[in-house]
Amino acid sequence: MSSFVIQGGARLEGEHTVQGAKNSALPILAAAVAARGECVLHGCPDLSDVRATLTILESLGCAVRRQGGALVVDSSCLCRCEIPERLMREMRSSIVFLGPLLSAMGCANLSAPGGCDIGERPIDLHLETMRALGVRVIEENGRLRCDARAGLRGARCSLHFPSVGATENLMIAASTAKGVTVLTNAAREPEIADLAAFLNACGAKIYGAGEGALVVEGVERLHGAEHTVIPDRITAVTFLTAAALTGGEILLRGARPSHMDAMLSVLEQSGCRLCRPGGDTLYLRMQGRPRRLPTIRTMPYPGFPTDAQALFMVLAALAEGASIITETIFENRFRHVAQLRRMGAFIRVEGRVAVVEGRRFLQGARVEACDLRAGAALVLAGLAAEGETRVRKIEHVDRGCEHFEGDLALLGANIVREEDDLGQEDEEA
């Protein structure tokens, strides 16, 4: 295991280029299974979750190689429809292989991805939509045997909650189903539109992706294509918030500000000066202490994203006055609160609501990342705190933030990665 060791107090200043979106890259790589032929994908970030996805692709028989900065996936030798439990557990979003395998092979044998640190990760919506397309699903001892050898057929479906993963699985499977599929209350995240753009480049006929109701006209087969994933809106806002918390300034390049409206609005209302010069750049400058945050309620897109909740809690912890943050998407996504309290933050939690009384200072402390975004938030808290902060279990952060400490250091942060020695782990267990 590794830790980040941070000496807080340095003002961040400079330029940062936003990485490609993890949450686009993962479903698009999985969808490459359904596109018989070579897919060339640009902008996939180098992350442990992406590497885990590539391992699954290879285990299914796909050939994967790097070509310059691109990832090339060739699924013409796809020969298996089973993903071993070990690989399923390595990455929660492995369930997004369900639709691609059913489309390409007519069967998928997977294990349920299980719960995780931010709460249970049920897959009922994934299975409900697959059943609507004619898939026979047998759940046995934690394994899922899904059979569509009689053929996928288009259907009308509606999600009772706009699940991102369930929308992705349905779009991919419906692309090669017989007839037309209509999905209402579909997720509208930008990553959904990006996946649809990739599938359409492969020959699919998907209309309305990102708009809540989507129509998929099934085609005979998908072919290979070339695609560039969209910029990562969550890591983009991670760097903006890091600059804001240290009273710094940052020029982001390669961003897609229109995907970040809900988050940018909160940054502006908390006192950050934001300029959107147009195109793919964003400039932020912060002077003085953040103002009390407007009430935040995490919601499906275009609402405030749950993935940014922990980051903004750090801003609230240092802001003037009290801010209120309500988490509505995941039931257990306040685990960073206990860690932030160790740094002197004053946060009361009742159910899904956190009331954060801002403090003038946070104190460096030994804390532990409990999930990817919480880990990134603790790093930000460490950058703003007085003294030294050690963030343990940063493997969570490596799942989603590419070159995190290197990029922060380039902006002036005092942060290094250290391998934990076993004695230290025992001492802190």
CB of 77 to ligand UD1, least distance (A): 26
- Binding status of residue 23 toward ligand UD1 by CB under 6 A: yes
Element (H, E) at 19: none
Q: What would the x/- binding string for ligand UD1 be over residues 179 to 218, using CB under 6 A?
A: ------------x---------------------------
Q: Which is nearer to ligand UD1, 11 or 121 (CB)?
A: 121
How is residue 336 annotated by DSSP? H
Q: How many other C-beta atoms can be found within 10 angstroms of the C-beta atom of residue 344? A: 17
| Least separation in angstroms between CB 166 and ligand UD1 | 5
- The reply on whether position 306 binds ligand UD1 by CB under 6 A is yes
Are 317 and 381 spatial neighbours (Cβ–Cβ below 8 Å)? yes
Contact between 53 and ligand UD1 per CB under 6 A: no
The pair of three-digit structure tokens given for residue 89, joined into one six-digit string: 């557990």
Which of 35, 123, 216, 316 binds ligand UD1 (CB under 6 A)? It is 123
Q: How far is the CB of 374 from ligand UD1 (least distance, A)?
A: 12
Separation between Cα atoms, residue 381 and residue 370, nearest integer Å? 15
Q: Is the dihedral of CA 160, 162, 166, 171 positive or negative?
A: positive
Nearer to ligand UD1 among residue 291 and residue 352 (C-beta)? 352
Pairing of strands 226-228, 38-42: parallel
Residues in region 124-153 near ligand UD1 by CB under 6 A: 124-126
Q: How many residues does the structure list for the chain? A: 429
166 makes contact with ligand UD1 (CB under 6 A): yes
Q: Which of 62, 79, 116, 146 is catalytic?
A: 116
Residue 312, interface with ligand UD1 (CB under 6 A)? no
Separation in Å, CA 38 to CA 33, 63, 73, 227:
10, 9, 6, 11
Instruction: Please identify which residue in 39, 98, 329, 383 interacts with ligand UD1, judged by CB under 6 A.
Output: 329
Q: Which of 114, 122, 179, 406 binds ligand UD1 (CB under 6 A)?
A: 122
102-121 positions binding ligand UD1, by CB under 6 A: 121
161 lines the binding site for ligand UD1 (CB under 6 A):
yes
Q: What are phi and psi of 384, to 5 degrees?
A: -90, -15
Name the minimum Å distance from CB 428 to ligand UD1: 28
For residue 169, what are the CA distances in angstroms to 33, 135, 189, 220, 308? 12, 13, 14, 18, 24
Task: Specify whether 44 is catalytic.
Answer: no
For residue 94, state whether it binds ligand UD1 (rule: CB under 6 A).
no
Name which position in 330, 365, 397, 402 contacts ligand UD1 (CB under 6 A).
330
Q: How far is the CB of 191 from ligand UD1 (least distance, A)?
A: 6
| Furthest CA-CA distance within the chain | 64
- Positive or negative, the CA dihedral 375, 376, 380, 382 is positive
Give the nearest distance from C-beta 363 to ligand UD1 in angstroms: 29
Q: Is 235 in the site for ligand UD1 (CB under 6 A)?
A: no
Q: Please, what is the angle between helix 164-175 and helix 190-201, to 10°?
A: 10
Q: Where are the beta strands (DSSP E) in 222-370?
A: 222-223, 226-228, 249-253, 273-278, 281-285, 296-297, 322-326, 346-350, 353-357, 366-368
Query: How far is the C-alpha of 341 from the C-alpha of 161, rounded, in Å?
Result: 33
CB atoms within 10 A of CB 115: 12
What residue type is 300 in one-letter code? P
Q: How far is CA 307 from the centre of its chain?
A: 7
**Residue of this chain nearest to ligand UD1 (CB atom):** 165
The stretch near ligand UD1 (CB under 6 A) out of 136-144, 163-171, 196-204, 338-346 is 163-171
Nearer to ligand UD1, 250 or 311 (CB): 311
Q: How far is the CB of 214 from ligand UD1 (least distance, A)?
A: 15
Torsion from C-alpha of 250, 291, 340, 52, nearest 10 degrees: -40
238: contact with ligand UD1 by CB under 6 A: no
Sign of CA dihedral 241, 243, 248, 251: negative
* CB-nearer residue toward ligand UD1: 3 or 93: 93
- Contacts with ligand UD1, residue ranges (CB under 6 A): 23, 26, 93, 121-126, 161, 163-166, 191, 305-307, 329-330
Would you name the residues annotated as active-site residues?
A: 116
